[in-house]
Amino acid sequence: MKQTRAIVITGNGTNCEMEAAHACRLGGFDETVIAHIAEILSGEIRLDDFHFLNLTGGFLDGDDLGSAKAQANRLKNAVVAGTDEKLVDQFTRFIASGKLILGVCNGFQLMVKMGMLPGFDGNYLHQTVTLTHNDCGRFQDRWTYLKVDADSPSIFTRGIDRGIYLPVRHGEGKFLCDSAATLERIETGHLAVMRYSDAGYTEQTMEFPANPNGSTNAIAALCDTTGRLMGLMPHPEAFVHYTQHPRWTREDLPEDGDGLILYKNAAEYAKKNLI
């Protein structure tokens, strides 16, 4: 029996593994495994056995060398026990075999710092963009309106009409590029999947607090050209049911939260293309 399988990596300061796994299950994955990085490094669990990889929120290594830096270094250099294989080889193989990766918040930071996003020209290990300290200089927990680019190749946002409403919870979410050329390629390729916007999802905004961090061009999410790898600072797993909405006691809301569609799309894609 073929099954769609999602994996959520945890350990060393990842915090959102429970709700990310819950979102995968609600989204329709047949099986979801929370794997501690120690279980991957020991060879007990292999990424090859999964279709959808979740790098989720938290404070990997306490943000000590800058968010996700230490984990990026670990993933790039650590060797899987009892093999000659570096862990990073499992990642590149996962990407090459057409599977899905979603990085949320700290996971997005990890993806850009490893070089997985935007992943130009199939090079998924070369860093060209970053996420750094919010302009306000502080961690922020607040909800944001995210205008979605309907022309983006992202498979995760298919079917989203105009935008979605999600919370951000980060101190280092300001998106920056290494050059104007990189930004240009992102913009022309419609890789900036979501932008902080007004409540009607009409205009992107640089105004705090609607744009909580001062990101370049209000960019909140980024995908690669295949659309199978995406990272975003807001937390889709934190809004999969209406009771998570900050105003659910005063607004008429559908049962599902806005974030769930990302996981539904991932499950749908996996079912059609990966098994």
Of 37 and 155, the one with the shorter C-beta distance to other proteins is 37
Burial string for 65-77 (b: 16+ CB within 10 Å, else e) reads ebbbbbbbebbee
- Provide the angle, in degrees to the nearest 10, between the axes of the packed helices 69-77 and 106-114: 50
Tokens 């990272």 sit on residue: 231
Looking at residue 176, what DSSP letter applies? E
Token output for 19: 């709700």
Instruction: Tell whether residue 211 is a contact of other proteins (CB under 8 A).
Output: no
Residue 177 known to be catalytic: no
Which listed residue (16, 105, 177, 223) is catalytic?
Answer: 105
Instruction: Tell whether residue 123 is a contact of other proteins (CB under 8 A).
Output: no
What is each CA distance from 157 to 50, 116, 153, 162, 164, in whole angstroms? Answer: 21, 19, 9, 10, 10
The span of 39-47, 149-157, 184-192, 221-229 binding other proteins (CB under 8 A) equals 39-47
Of 263 and 269, the one with the shorter C-beta distance to other proteins is 263
Distance of alpha carbon 208 from alpha carbon 96, whole angstroms: 39
For the CB of residue 36, give the shortest distance to other proteins in the complex, in Å: 6
Instruction: Tell whether residue 38 is a contact of other proteins (CB under 8 A).
Output: yes
Residue 16 known to be catalytic: no
Using CB under 8 A, pick the residue from 48, 49, 141, 184 that binds other proteins.
Answer: 141
Using CB under 8 A, pick the residue from 64, 184, 203, 207 that binds other proteins.
Answer: 64
Cβ-contact 8, 20 below 8 angstroms: yes
Instruction: Tell whether residue 183 is a contact of other proteins (CB under 8 A).
Output: no
Instruction: Tell whether residue 84 is a contact of other proteins (CB under 8 A).
Output: no
Residue 105 known to be catalytic: yes
Distance of alpha carbon 141 from alpha carbon 9, whole angstroms: 23
Of 81 and 96, the one with the shorter C-beta distance to other proteins is 81
The span of 47-55, 185-193, 230-238, 261-269 binding other proteins (CB under 8 A) equals 230-238
- Beta strands 140-148 and 194-197 are antiparallel
Cβ-contact 102, 237 below 8 angstroms: no
Rg, C-alpha atoms of the chain: 17
Of 115 and 227, the one with the shorter C-beta distance to other proteins is 115
For the CB of residue 139, give the shortest distance to other proteins in the complex, in Å: 5
Neighbouring C-alpha atoms within 13 Å toward the C-beta of 223: 28
Chain residues that interact with other proteins, rule: CB under 8 A? 10-16, 18-19, 22, 36, 38-39, 41-42, 57-59, 61-66, 69-70, 72-74, 76-79, 113, 127-130, 132-143, 167, 169, 174, 176-178, 214, 235, 237-238, 240, 243-244, 246-247, 249-250
